[in-house]
Amino acid sequence: MLRKFRKLHSTYRYATSSFPDFSSAVRNAADQFFYREFLSTSPIPQASNALLQKLETAPLTLPPRALLGNGTQTVDGLSFLVLLAKALHAHTVFEIGTFTGVTAFTLAMNLPTLTIDTLDLPAGDLPALDFERDDKGYMPLRRRRRVFEDKPEGSRITQHEGDSARFDFSALGKTFDLVYVDGAHSYDYVANDTQAAFNIVSGSVGAIVWDDYSPAWRGVVRYLNERTDIEIHRVPATRLVLWLSSGAKSLLTQP
């Protein structure tokens, strides 16, 4: 079933990229159709309504729409990350894949005592492991100005430069309440970054969130689908997948 869906989906991707006049309405409808099919064959269950409803009670502030676009987190994704960090009473976040910095900025804006460490490739560097062809478009060719740089929130954000396959995560210890995995999307990178995330996430009340569980990123999907050894959940209306430590689970599910 999954193989049939993949074949159909790659034919569709070929058709949409080869015929640019494919109308956007048809494209949107087809995208939605494929996304529904993708979710219906996913082995990863959706997060429970009880958990989601609990998160949704806190207020939040979103960044200007102009800061969101191709490659950044979506409004629903940002909302979830902020609400999760608030519910966990997070003090520390590690992000793999800074890009424009809008997610780091949004988290810092909503949690006034939060500190964030965020890692991205140095400008012009290519990663050590295999990456997906589409990853290249998001890698910095020249130094990228991050949205938090001229903001007061920027003083609580530490920018690290390096390849996540070579970065020394062990020096950080298991000190992060939330780890957000959003770097390169190949199977090898998601495996590497997931291992790093488990090495630094707090053992008491910690959470890991992966972005881009979507048909466009096959490496992410294949890797996460294979992780039947850990309890992970999809977050509805987003491309996010969530893992909670047992302490975080108790905190978020207690009445």
Residues at the site binding ligand SAM, with contacts judged by CB under 6 A: 71-73, 95-99, 102-103, 119-121, 127, 135, 138-140, 163-165, 182-184, 189
Residue with Cβ nearer ligand SAM (62 or 251):
62
- Smallest gap, in angstroms, from Cβ of residue 236 to ligand SAM? 18
One-character DSSP codes across 94-148 = EEE--TTSHHHHHHHHH-TT-EEEEEEPPTTPPPSS---GGGGGGS-SSPPPPTT
Residue with Cβ nearer ligand SAM (179 or 232):
179
CA 190/CA 224 separation, integer angstroms = 8
Residue with Cβ nearer ligand SAM (115 or 249):
115
Sign of the alpha-carbon torsion through 116, 122, 126, 128:
negative
Residue with Cβ nearer ligand SAM (36 or 65):
65
- Smallest gap, in angstroms, from Cβ of residue 100 to ligand SAM? 6
- Smallest gap, in angstroms, from Cβ of residue 182 to ligand SAM? 4
Closest CA to 146 of 61, 202, 63, 228: 63
CA 90/CA 111 separation, integer angstroms = 8
- Smallest gap, in angstroms, from Cβ of residue 241 to ligand SAM? 14
Residue with Cβ nearer ligand SAM (92 or 103):
103
- Smallest gap, in angstroms, from Cβ of residue 226 to ligand SAM? 20
CA 39/CA 192 separation, integer angstroms = 25
- Smallest gap, in angstroms, from Cβ of residue 104 to ligand SAM? 8
Residue nearest to ligand SAM (CB): 97
Residue with Cβ nearer ligand SAM (97 or 206):
97
CB of 87 closer than 8 Å to CB of 58? yes
CA 241 to chain centre: 8
Instruction: Determine how β-strand 178-181 pairs with β-strand 92-96.
Output: parallel
Both ends of the chain: CA-CA distance in Å? 39
